Amino acid sequence: IPAVVNGDYAAYQLYTNADGEATVQGLTVAFDLLLDLDFRLSGNYNYTTFEYTGTDAIILPGFNTPTNRFSVTFGNPNVYKGFGFSMSHRWSQGYEWKSTFGEGSIDAINVTSAQVSYTVPDSNVRIKLGGSNVFGNEYQTAYGLPTVGSQYFIKMTFNEF
C-alpha cells in the first residue's frame, strides 16, 4: 500500500474476450460515373453499427467508428489544354471514443480538398497543386490525438495511368 500512496507503481491493461454477444453490421454504397467531356463524379456512403449485449459494465469494445460517413469527388483531368481539376468533400458523423487510453467525444468531420493539374504536352508528366482541408476545419480522428489542419502540396507524377 505505501507504494500506491507514493505513486511508485505501473499500471497494466489486460485484454480479454467478453462473455456477452457483440453484433457489428454495416453497409457500403458507392458509385463512379464517367460523364460527358471526361468529367468524373464518384462517391460512397458507409453505415456501421456496433452493439454489445453483455452484462459486464467495464468492457471497452474499442469499436470507435462513426455510424455514418460519406465522400463525394468531382473533377476532370483535362478540362482545357492539359489543365485539370479535382474537388472532394468527406463527412463523418461524430461519435464516442472508448479505449483504455481514455474516453471522449469525436466531433463530426467536414473536410474539403481541391487540386489543379497540368499535363505537360508530349510527355508523361503531370504537375499537381492542391490542398487537403482547404477551409481549415481542424478535426480529430481519435481521442487524445492532436487536431489535423490543412495540408498543401505540389506533386509531379510520371506515367500516371
Residues 106-123: pLDDT tens digits?
999 999 999 999 999 988
For residue 16, pLDDT over 80 is answered with: no
Q: What is the pTM of this model?
A: 0.81
Average pLDDT over residues 49-70: 81
Contact 148, 136 (CB under 8 A): no
* Calpha distance 109→115 (Å, rounded): 20
88: closest CA among 68, 118, 110, 107?
110
Cβ-count burial of 50 within 10 angstroms (0-12 exposed, 13-18 middle, 19+ buried)?
middle
For residue 71, pLDDT over 90 is answered with: yes
* Calpha distance 106→68 (Å, rounded): 13
* Calpha distance 85→77 (Å, rounded): 6
Look up cell 505501473; give the residue.
10
Q: Residue 5 gets which letter from DSSP?
A: H
